[in-house]
Structure 1
């Protein structure tokens, strides 16, 4: 079964030879005293920010948990639906959490968000952009309005940009109450190594560092990440290939089935579909060796999501979708003949 249900990278950013060399050179018998700072320096240069604006952890999940712990007292506010771990980590640490409900098409009206911020007076508001699960990327104007509102109520605004490398870059003014969250699990292809990053002002990063572990990342992960970001041309080419795979995935759904099911426009490495025909296609694809995301949550029961795969696998997926569509059209013609 080919797994296209977890928004992972189908590719590795490094060859086996490169990986073996990195591991041989890593002194994993010693604590990584200098490697963490070296990674932050390389990552900051890649994104043209300062190393003091960066803090890293064992995946974005750990960083979400840290934020739930370190943010000022008061409720968190998020979108519904959004990344389910916001709610899970809030419950773990007994942080109250409130929600902004989506429109039927999974979009969110800015006015609804601003009104909920006024009602809840949250300690912080966290949302994914591009949005998970819809794939929609919200504009700088949209985000700035939320940031201004959170500043007015004295709270933080956390933008989870896990999929931004597949979307369009934007420039939001960095302020002490704004935190951007990134991951190396998606476009950078090292989900199994668990590496997430927070970006903020130096003062805000220092606040979060109060609960940072002495050695927040293991030596092997650090050495691999250092190599990647110290070879910028290589890693930019890798991300470019990932974006091409995402474009290919979206193009096939738009070409073959967008007229018989809802296919959400996506700025991510996945495509979300909705409707009875979407369910039919999802079951067909699963029966033929590809595992899409079929949701257990009742509110997402009508949806099916597909992540990127290799070029060869996407070619096979294209053929599967085309065959399903031919069968679907034949059934429709028979029904109405």
Structure 2
């Protein structure tokens, strides 16, 4: 079964030979005293920021958990739906969490978000952008309005940018109440190594570092990540290949089935579909060797989501969709 249900990378950024060399060179019998700082410096240079603005963790999940622990007293506020782990980690640490409910089409009203911030007075507001599960990227003006509102009430604004490398870059002036969360699990293809990053002003990062472990990442993960970001041209080429796969996936669904089901415009490595035909297609694809995301959650029961695969797998998926479409059209005409 080809797994296209978890928004993972179908590719690895390094060859077997490169990995073998890095593992051989890693002194994993010693604590990684210098590697963590070296990674932060390389990552910061790649994105043209200061290393003092960066903290890393065992996946962005650990960073979400840290925020739930260290943010000021008060509820968290998020979108519904959004990344389910916001709720899970809030529950772990008994942090109250409130929601801004989506419109019927899974969009979110800026006016309603700002209203809910006034009502809830959250310690922090967290949302994914591009949004999970729709794939929609919200505008800078949209984010700026939320940032301004959170600053006005003395709260923090956390933007989970896990999929931003598939979308469009944007400029939001960094302030102490703004935190940008990123991951190397998606566009950079090292989900199994567990590496997430949090970016803010130096003072805000210093506050979060109060919860940091002495050695937050293991030696192997650090050596691989250092190599990737100290070879920026190689890494940029890899990310561009991932973006091409995402474009190929989106175009496939737009061209072949967008007239008979809702296909959400996506700035991510996945495509979300909705409707009876979407479920029919999802079941057909699952019966033919691909595993899409079929949701158990009542709010998402009408939806099916597809992540990127290799070029060859996407070609195979395209043929499956064509075959299903011919059968679907035939059934509608008889």
> 1:253: Cα distance to partner?
0.2
Runs of 4+ in structure 1 deviating by more than 2 angstroms, as ranges, are none
Task: Report what 2:226 is aligned to.
Answer: 226
Task: Report what 2:30 is aligned to.
Answer: 30
Task: Report what 2:83 is aligned to.
Answer: 83
Q: Deviations for 1:256-309, whole angstroms, at most 9, x for unmatched residues?
A: 000000000000000000000000000000000000000011111100000000
Aligned counterparts of 2:55 and 2:221: Cα–Cα separation in 1: 15
Aligned counterparts of 2:213 and 2:107: Cα–Cα separation in 1: 37
Task: Report what 1:279 is aligned to.
Answer: 279
Q: Deviations for 1:121-158, whole angstroms, at most 9, x for unmatched residues?
A: 00000000000000000000000000000000000000
Aligned counterparts of 1:301 and 1:125: Cα–Cα separation in 2: 26
| 2:314 is aligned with 1:314 | yes
Aligned counterparts of 1:111 and 1:333: Cα–Cα separation in 2: 44
Q: How does 1:185-334 map to 2 (within 5 A)?
A: 185-334=185-334
| 2:130 is aligned with 1:130 | yes
> 1:118: Cα distance to partner?
0.3
> 1:218: Cα distance to partner?
0.2
Task: Report what 1:172 is aligned to.
Answer: 172
SS in structure 1 of the partner of residue 217 of structure 2: coil
SS in structure 2 of the partner of residue 142 of structure 1: helix
Aligned counterparts of 2:299 and 2:236: Cα–Cα separation in 1: 37
Length-normalised TM-score, structure 2 = 1.00
Aligned counterparts of 1:106 and 1:309: Cα–Cα separation in 2: 25
Length-normalised TM-score, structure 1 = 0.99
| 2:111 is aligned with 1:111 | yes
Aligned counterparts of 2:292 and 2:3: Cα–Cα separation in 1: 7
Listed as ranges, the gaps of 5+ residues in structure 2 are: none
Task: Report what 1:52 is aligned to.
Answer: 52
SS in structure 2 of the partner of residue 174 of structure 1: coil
Q: Deviations for 1:304-336, whole angstroms, at most 9, x for unmatched residues?
A: 0000000000000000000000000000111xx
| 2:101 is aligned with 1:101 | yes
Listed as ranges, the gaps of 5+ residues in structure 1 are: none
SS in structure 2 of the partner of residue 131 of structure 1: coil
Q: How many residues are matched?
A: 334
Task: Report what 2:61 is aligned to.
Answer: 61
Q: Deviations for 1:226-249, whole angstroms, at most 9, x for unmatched residues?
A: 000000000000000000000000
Aligned counterparts of 2:60 and 2:41: Cα–Cα separation in 1: 19
SS in structure 2 of the partner of residue 99 of structure 1: strand
Task: Report what 1:15 is aligned to.
Answer: 15
Aligned Cα root-mean-square deviation (Å): 0.3
Q: Deviations for 1:166-207, whole angstroms, at most 9, x for unmatched residues?
A: 000000010000000000000000000000000000000000
